[in-house]
Amino acid sequence: MTLFVCHLKWSHIEKISQEVKKLVEKKIKVCVFNCRMFDEADYFTKIGDALGIEVKICSESPSLETIHLAEGCDSVSIVTTKISRDLIKKLHAMNLKIIATRTVGFDHIDLQAAEEYGIRVSNAAYAPDSVADFTIMLMLMCVRKMKTMLERTQIQDFSLEGLQGSIFSKKKIGIIGTGRIGQTVIRHLSGFGNEILSYSLKEEPGLKGLTTYVSFETLLKESDIISLHLPASEENVHLIDAETLAKMKKGVILINTARGTLLDTQAVIENVENGKIGALALDVIENETGIYYSDFISQVLTNREILLLKSFPNVIVTPHMAFYTDSAVEEMVYASLKGSLLEAKHEKNPWRII
């Protein structure tokens, strides 16, 4: 038997060791799409440096025409742009392994395609206070007719006709969905003294004494104000439609800071016009993608429902911004980058969807 022994010089061993070390220490690279330069960019730079991540910042939306910007990256960070099967197939061809959406919702991503192509998907989380406080602000604005008051004041009309509001604490409030945000809304409302009804698939023991869980039908029938706090799903598309609206009180105030698909927009418009809905506040709306977060000040807006809704004096429309506080933005950026890092290192990622 012949024994072959490979002799390596120390310099060769040291060189190999250095190469291995470089591979181990190689920074992961994240391509950030739809980055808002006026606020998010600084957070991405600061947090990326702290985590040892190379960040490529792009203001463009991810599409088949722009996805080449992520060439050589390990992960893409996105917001609400639709990530289709074709786009995921392209990401797979680029050997990109992670999609990190810096949103709580992830219904804009084709999860089935991502799973088929072996691409991990993670979302973001942030304290529920931002959305909860915004929701209560919208309730108060509707009760006190703030939209009309503010518009009049801008043109120096200080008359009071048509501005008489009502006492907020006397309103019975219905909360649909008692997840993290719904629970926070209830806790924050507790100081106002309102009677609060709740409907959810799962009752939260921690809310005992703050709300009364009732059936969906009872909540619709008895509430003066109804606020939605559900994620988007196939099961709850148009949860609020002509049929459910018919069961509500005349003059009901409806608040949606959750997902646009929860409302049948056409049915809602008809019920604003016929007076069934006394006031409406929408931070989200169907088919908002491609419109919200963009400036259309000198362009024709293609979403007719938004145009019509914002023309009503008793309807408040805001551009999906209930989350938008300094704390929430920082937390979303962190979750996006940290989740990408954990996936690249094959470690447990608390934000992983698939």
Other Cβ atoms closer than 10 A to 272: 19
Phi, psi of 29 (to 5 degrees): -120, 130
By three-state DSSP, how is residue 315 classified?
strand
Of these residues, 120, 286, 320, 343, which one is catalytic? 320
Q: What is the DSSP letter of 240?
A: B
Q: Which of 200, 189, 196, 190 lies closest to 136, judged by CA? A: 189
Name which of 284, 337, 313 is nearest 150 in CA terms.
Answer: 313
The CA angle 324-287-78, to the nearest 5 degrees, is 50
Question: Alpha carbon of 270 to those of 242, 309, 319, 352: distances in Å?
Answer: 9, 10, 22, 40
Instruction: Starting at the earlier edge strand, list the strands of the sheet with 196-199.
Output: 212-213, 196-199, 173-176, 225-228, 252-256, 277-282, 315-317
Annotated active-site residue 320? The verdict is yes
Structure tokens at 345: 């290192």
Q: Can you count the helices (H) and strands (E) in the chain?
A: 12, 12
Cα 314 → chain centroid: 25
Q: By three-state DSSP, how is residue 255 classified?
A: strand
Q: Tell me which residue of 111, 9, 106, 100 sits closest to 55, measured CA to CA.
A: 100
Catalytically annotated residue among 259, 286, 305, 331:
259
Active site residue 7: no
Catalytic residue among 40, 286, 288, 305: 288
What whole-number distance in Å separates Cα of residue 73 and Cα of residue 183?
A: 39
Does 203 qualify as catalytic in the annotation?
no
- Of 293, 322, 318, 325, give the one whose Cα is nearest residue 78: 293
Catalytic site positions? 259, 288, 320
